[in-house]
Structure 1
Amino acid sequence: MKMINTRSVWRPDKDEVVVEHGAVATAHPIAAQVGVDVLKSGGNAVDAAIATGFCLNVIEPWNSSVAGHGQMIVHMAGEGRSVAVDYGHRAPRAATADMFRVIGQTVQGNGIYEVEDRANAIGHRSVGVPGVTAGMCRAHELFGTLPLERLLEPAVHYAREGFEADPHTCLTIARNMPKLVRYGEAARVFLPDGYPPPPGAKVVQRDLADTLERIGREGKDALHRGEIAAAIDEEMRRHGGVLGAQDLADYEAQVLDPVRTSYRGHKLLGSPAPAGTITALQTLNILESFDLRHIAHGSPEHLHLFVEAARHAFADRYSFVGDPDFGPVPLDGILSSKYAREIARSIDREVAKLEDEREAQPWVAYADSPLHDPWRFDPQARPECTIPTSPPSESDCTTHFSVSDRDRHMVACTQTAVAQFGSGVVVPGTGVLLSNGMTVFNPMPGSANSIAGFKRGLNNMTPLLVLRDGRPFLTVGAPGGRRIMCRIANVISNVVDFGMGMQEAITAPSVDAAERETFVDHRIDTETVEALAHMGHNVEVVPEPFTGGGFSRPRGVMIDPDTGLLRAGVQPIGPDEARGY
């Protein structure tokens, strides 16, 4: 029989890390080694996550910052205790629903409102109340075993002495030059000679090193009170920002009970904050009604069922999900297994029912016309009226790291600058890059995700932990905007339904259903793509960019149920790396 192949396809891969004692999966080799060194020196998974996270603030500054935002899910195996530390975006107290002048939808037609001068995305008015330093310090108070100052030493070192710019770093800085040159301090730090650094050049951030040293000594208050807070306040006042010193002083990371669901006997733990976790978990809830183990992985039937389940979950996201402190959210209803089974019964195994030729994106179509009614399955009283939600941004401007230690404590942590290099504003004398948290809100009044003082914005972060037989099994998450949610649900299904290891589950081709089109990985064969189109999917084949992240960039660690060894994997394209010992 002749083998016919009509297309050459790039299929990169990376080795899976298999170790006994501890593993870290992250965005950069330096950060991975920093985490492993902490584990080797006697620190636990939370210690390693804190050191890794602060190191990434230095060596991946376009994706995270000490003045960024994040979520951490922790499971302490010895105690059987799980918590979610939420340090997500909040609007300053002076922020108002009508603070930005909306001039229409974006030219890409993706349904996100465009603001005059992009003031909610770039510059001082785009800055929200930061949370990373508060969140990391709160996690250290709860679970840290090594001194905070010790955990920040690697970040201080790489900020003061510099780190070598790899091609990915150079390309990212070059791509963001228009933003960086708008603000003198950002250009001074990242474009010291007026140009992006060439490969091999040192990126030095001495002011940030001083700030990190102070955080190591003083904890959260180093950023949220005192001289640095005063410098941030002054920078905002001088340039028309709304963030103030009192916002910084009032901010506290929240320690929450994780939201819990199950998938084929596995317990899934995530953050109850307004984030991507809810959508990924609902997708898996719906998929549980289908026996995927008896369907070929990557077949048209498999991908069709996954896309349909995800589309129903996104319909609810775009209709109902927002900050529950500012409006009712039927979280228990959305994650009800009975509700999921009802939705699953409506899915046709051969025909795509939720795709048509409409111009509106789903967040527009479902904003005021819900597809389902999860309130019927929620213990809360149905509100007299509800207001629509709106989506956050889609760009890949986030980082994620997963950690497990010798005691099998596990951490999944996602942090973000919201957009690459955040607001573009670096506070003089501090090295602190301020993230643009206001861009995650709907700038139009009247939605569940509209701006209000000290409100949390809807985001895409999806750090998840999985327990098997009550014991830690898997930690995973990813950067990648709206495509995080499908990818994380896909990775978990790959492990649970198809028996894949961590690296194989991450490397496997994926699909995404967050938008009007069904995005299909270019590695999926032509016959399958054509079959999906025949089923009624509006298929768009997406190539993986050089920098990775076409379908988000998962990083995870799992415990092999047969050997007890740790198996870690990362996105095969880009500098992402897992290490262990």
Structure 2
Amino acid sequence: MNSYLKHLSSLSLGLLMTGFTFAQADREAKGLNFASRSEVIGQHGMVATSHPLATQIGLDILKQGGNAIDAAIAVNAATGLMEPTGNGIGGDLFAIIWHEKSQKLYAINASGRSPLGLSYEGLLAELDAIDRESIPSYHLLSVSVPGAVDGWFELHKKFGSLPMKDILKSPIDYAVNGFPVTEAISMRWRSSVPFLKTQPGAFESTFTIDGRGPRKGEIFKNPDLGNTLRLLAEKGRDAFYEGEIAQEIDRWMKEQGGYLRYEDFKNHHSEWIEPVSTNYRGYDVYQVGGNVQGTAVLQMLNILEGFDLASMGFGTAETLHAYIETKKLVYEDRAKHYADPDFQNVPYDILLSKDYAAERRQLIGEKAMSDMSTGVEVIENGDTVYLTTADSEGNMVSLIQSNFRGMGTGFVVPGLGFSFQNRGELFSTDPRHPNVYQPGKRPFHTIIPGFVMKGGKPFLSYGNMGGAYQPIGHVSILTNIIDFGMNVQEAGDASRWDHSGSSKPTGSVADHLTTTGQVNVESGIRYEVVRQLRAKGHKVEVGNSFFGRYQGILKDQENGVYYGASESRVDGQAAGY
């Protein structure tokens, strides 16, 4: 063997010994290896959340004999404490659940409604008094009934196994005894405090240390939230919606001039619903519809199915152009049709049809479009947490929960330990709009849990936070896996894109896109591609956007294991056993 062949043989052996294969080398050469770390693999259970301590709480629940539903509730209670910059029991919740025993997929809409005592005319009068045309973010007008707690108890009643006192034990302990604040959460927390501590109520005494947000590594305690969670563990959901918590909120709202009342809480209920779905290249993709933007994911996939993305290549100008133009088309439908199904019939038969997708796809040309509206006759950034759990029985939970704008409104009823969401901001004030404000109505929501089935079996539970970005993130993750062959961690680590400037569900029915909008890409997208997109008429900037945060659990049916992934850009963790 000559020296050259000996060198190749030695190199090949070395690569194989380090776990590197020529297939991986080929993927590297094509720019398809993006993983910041390996997937996490577990046989008996998996938890993926945006906070490492919350992930450990979920694993502990599974190891104690709890199921994926119990773990999801415990994790959500913990993230509401540890990541108040994104969620909490003053917000809403949506979830999709695969229940192994019944071999069925379930979905729950646990979003709250607007106050019954505030009429449309009353809202307009309030807005006139403050010289506003839309509902302001940090005002009592933006507060709707918090739905998350009822969502927990509905999930527990239908699927739970451990007692609620066991599920909430660790979050209560951390609330009373404290936890170390992580880096990314500290940054957002400290930036929120200067404004929110001026809000009426107990924000400063509840959420600050000496009047400021906690620094990285500082121990933070929220004993008021611990007491509220203890009350829920002992007395159940009625303590929140019909007992002393609802009564205290009613009293405080009256004092402050707000409109939420005891009756709004007493009348609140979550709703078990059928998820909406489409098939994308043999995979059945499920989302929550109605007043939630999950339908946009399915519409985008229907349009993109007509493109050979695998041949076009990941991160190319051709592929990104198809993504961006598809998003622009679908978000015009999103702006006009997604609304509370109790008040509006969402035209799913048209929006989710393959024929409608083909019709809309024909509008995509070589140049960026700058003038478009919905194709159906009419009859943005938020902070959130996404989490997913799976257990040894095969149950899987995809759950998302949010305050909407970071720490919500900043209105904290003294002694309760949580801030109210400002989700009511997302109503339209146009009386012709399906999403127009009405008493007792659920506003438009950006938060979406995702789930994918393959051959009638669970394949992927996944989601990402990020306000209006979320459908873009869902589509990117799925096409990264299905079209570009990435694993569940690579799919989240791969460079991302965003587009803003589309019409919004809070606007008028007459609104439509009149510019090409703004495209932002992460720095991993080659600058040659940026130049090519600009040549197509896109306004493109590198960075300077929020590209969401992702978690996912993939079920390997053949080997009987779970693959877990979490966001590499911030504090998340996936862990299994």
Indicate the residue corresponding to 1:441 in structure 2: 427
Distance 1:125 1:443 in 2: 12
Conservation of the 8 A alpha-carbon contact between 1:570 and 1:576: yes
Conservation of the 8 A alpha-carbon contact between 2:382 and 2:405: yes
Letter in 2 for 1:323: D
Superposed displacement of residue 541, structure 1: 2.2
Question: Is 2:374 aligned against 1:371?
Answer: yes
Question: Is 2:167 aligned against 1:151?
Answer: yes
Conservation of the 8 A alpha-carbon contact between 1:126 and 1:241: no
Letter in 2 for 1:409: N
Alignment of 1:295-444 (within 5 A): 295-348=312-365, 350-352=366-368, 354-355=369-370, 370-373=373-376, 386=379, 394-444=380-430
Alignment of 1:93-242 (within 5 A): 93-98=116-121, 99=123, 116=132, 120-177=136-193, 178-242=195-259
Indicate the residue corresponding to 2:292 in structure 1: 275
Indicate the residue corresponding to 2:3 in structure 1: none
Superposed displacement of residue 163, structure 1: 0.9
Distance 1:328 1:50 in 2: 31
Q: For residues 28-63 of structure 1, give each alpha carbon's deviation from its aligned partner in whole angstroms, at most 9, with x where no partner exists.
A: 001111111111222111111111111111111121
Indicate the residue corresponding to 1:48 in structure 2: 71
Give the one of 550, 569, 574 matched to 2:570.
574
Question: Is 2:266 aligned against 1:249?
Answer: yes
Distance 1:18 1:496 in 2: 20
Quick one: structure 1 residues 40 and 128, their matched pair in 2 at CA, closer, same or farther if it must change by over 3 Å?
same
Task: Output the TM-score relative to the length of structure 1.
Answer: 0.86
Conservation of the 8 A alpha-carbon contact between 1:261 and 1:268: yes
Superposed displacement of residue 483, structure 1: 0.6
Superposed displacement of residue 199, structure 1: 2.9
Conservation of the 8 A alpha-carbon contact between 2:429 and 2:436: yes
Conservation of the 8 A alpha-carbon contact between 1:73 and 1:85: yes
Distance 1:54 1:475 in 2: 20
**Aligned with 1:42: secondary structure?**
coil
Distance 1:561 1:143 in 2: 22
Quick one: structure 1 residues 176 and 90, their matched pair in 2 at CA, closer, same or farther if it must change by over 3 Å?
same
Superposed displacement of residue 101, structure 1: 6.4
Distance 1:338 1:283 in 2: 13
Distance 2:38 2:175 in 1: 30
Indicate the residue corresponding to 1:542 in structure 2: 543
Superposed displacement of residue 66, structure 1: 1.3
**Aligned-residue CA RMSD in angstroms?**
2.2
Distance 1:144 1:154 in 2: 17
**Aligned with 2:202: secondary structure?**
helix
Question: Is 2:473 aligned against 1:459?
Answer: no
Distance 1:424 1:134 in 2: 21
Distance 2:534 2:61 in 1: 49
Conservation of the 8 A alpha-carbon contact between 2:339 and 2:443: yes
**Aligned with 2:101: secondary structure?**
coil
Distance 1:419 1:101 in 2: 25
Superposed displacement of residue 204, structure 1: 1.0
Quick one: structure 1 residues 119 and 448, their matched pair in 2 at CA, closer, same or farther if it must change by over 3 Å?
closer
Superposed displacement of residue 125, structure 1: 3.2
Distance 2:334 2:253 in 1: 33
Task: Output the TM-score relative to the length of structure 2.
Answer: 0.87
Superposed displacement of residue 329, structure 1: 2.1
Conservation of the 8 A alpha-carbon contact between 2:293 and 2:338: no
Deviates more, 1:185-194 or 1:497-506: 185-194
Superposed displacement of residue 514, structure 1: 4.3
Quick one: structure 1 residues 88 and 37, their matched pair in 2 at CA, closer, same or farther if it must change by over 3 Å?
same
Distance 1:74 1:432 in 2: 27
Q: For residues 350-387 of structure 1, give each alpha carbon's deviation from its aligned partner in whole angstroms, at most 9, with x where no partner exists.
A: 333x237xxxxxxxxx6xxx4313x6xxxxxxxxx63x
Ranges in structure 2 where 5+ consecutive residues have no aligned partner:
1-33, 502-516
Superposed displacement of residue 118, structure 1: 9.0
Ranges in structure 1 where 5+ consecutive residues have no aligned partner:
1-10, 105-113, 357-365, 376-384, 387-393, 545-549
Q: For residues 256-289 of structure 1, give each alpha carbon's deviation from its aligned partner in whole angstroms, at most 9, with x where no partner exists.
A: 1111211111111111231121001110111111
Letter in 2 for 1:407: E
Letter in 2 for 1:355: S
Superposed displacement of residue 14, structure 1: 4.1
Superposed displacement of residue 418, structure 1: 1.3
Quick one: structure 1 residues 307 and 59, their matched pair in 2 at CA, closer, same or farther if it must change by over 3 Å?
same
Letter in 2 for 1:302: T
Distance 1:578 1:64 in 2: 19
Conservation of the 8 A alpha-carbon contact between 2:338 and 2:346: yes
Indicate the residue corresponding to 2:36 in structure 1: 13
Letter in 2 for 1:522: S
Question: Is 2:534 aligned against 1:517?
Answer: no
**Aligned with 2:448: secondary structure?**
coil
Superposed displacement of residue 306, structure 1: 1.6
Quick one: structure 1 residues 472 and 308, their matched pair in 2 at CA, closer, same or farther if it must change by over 3 Å?
same
Q: For residues 105-136 of structure 1, give each alpha carbon's deviation from its aligned partner in whole angstroms, at most 9, with x where no partner exists.
A: xxxxxxxxx96499732143331111000011
Quick one: structure 1 residues 115 and 215, their matched pair in 2 at CA, closer, same or farther if it must change by over 3 Å?
farther
May I ask how many residue pairs the two structures share in their alignment?
526
Distance 2:215 2:320 in 1: 42
Deviates more, 1:315-324 or 1:231-240: 315-324
Give the one of 464, 472, 484 matched to 1:478.
464
